[in-house]
Amino acid sequence: MDPSTTLAPASIVEYEVLSLLGEGPHARCYLTRPPAHLGDGVVVKVFTELVTEPAFDRAVRELRAAAAVRSPRLVRVFDAVLGENFAYAMEYLPLGSLAEPAFPPSRAEILTALEDAARGVHELHEAGIVHGGIHPGNVLLAEEADGTLGGRLAEPGLSRVLMPGAVVPGAGRGGVLEFRDPDLLSGASPSRRTEVWALGATIHRALSGTGLYGELPGHPLGAIRELHSTNPQVHPALAPDEAALVRDCTADGPDRLRTAAEVADRLATLRAPRVAL
């Protein structure tokens, strides 16, 4: 059976589907009307491939661990939905993401969203959790209580759990690979270090509008070949201090920034008003 047809379009278990928000290679996100105790709109993310029971159990454990961090910089995850496909519910943020914002954010707002996301990454790391999916589409925009724009880091990437046999888990689109430390493609395990690299690539894309490798082929295998044959290049459109941060996030060896908190602190410095000389 085609897994994309296993869920009724009008509802997902107890969630009434209002609209399709978007879809990727492995999942679809729906805006839904949830049970009364969860408030108004809620996003339900449904993975389109069938998963094994052990993978389902592990994904639930990872979501619970991330939810236990209780950080205001992380998107709130409410519950996992038991069905033929793995799905889970999370809060709805209508302002979009740095990849697809509802309106063009200013440079200061982009830097604020990136700083918030980097601090969310650090909080996950301090709890022993690797995010596994840092890129502009997972840096969501949110209106803060004072009316300013802030950022929220989306839930950890679960494709490595739900699809462990994939050559590069989560690489359904070649473009996502530009945010992966090349060491991961060579067999390294996800870590603070590889996620600092991902933050650097995300900062570069968000501020320059292009990737460290330009625009990669859409097919994952073509993108991987390009990554193996090309060195990352910082775009000249970046200001010198922005370019320096990206280079410090993606440097080889001991020159790379050690933690996401260090990245966040540098972003806060960039956000400070520039003084004309």
Residue with the larger pLDDT of the pair 114 and 55: 114
State pLDDT tens for residues 39-96.
678 999 988 877 778 888 888 888 888 889 989 999 998 888 766 788 888 999 999 9
Which domains occur in the chain, in start order?
A: 14-91 (3.30.200.20), 107-271 (1.10.510.10)
User: The tokens 């870590």 sit on which residue?
Assistant: 191
Amino acid occupying residue 257:
L
Residue with the larger pLDDT of the pair 159 and 69: 69
8 Å CB contact between 30 and 43: yes
The reported pTM is 0.86
The token pair that represents 48 in the structure block:
């389109």
Per-residue confidence (pLDDT) for residue 2, from 0 to 100: 38
Residue with the larger pLDDT of the pair 185 and 81: 185
Does residue 5 come out as left (phi exceeding 0), alpha (psi in the -120 to 50 range) or beta?
alpha
**Beta bridge partners of residue 152, listed in sequence order:** 140
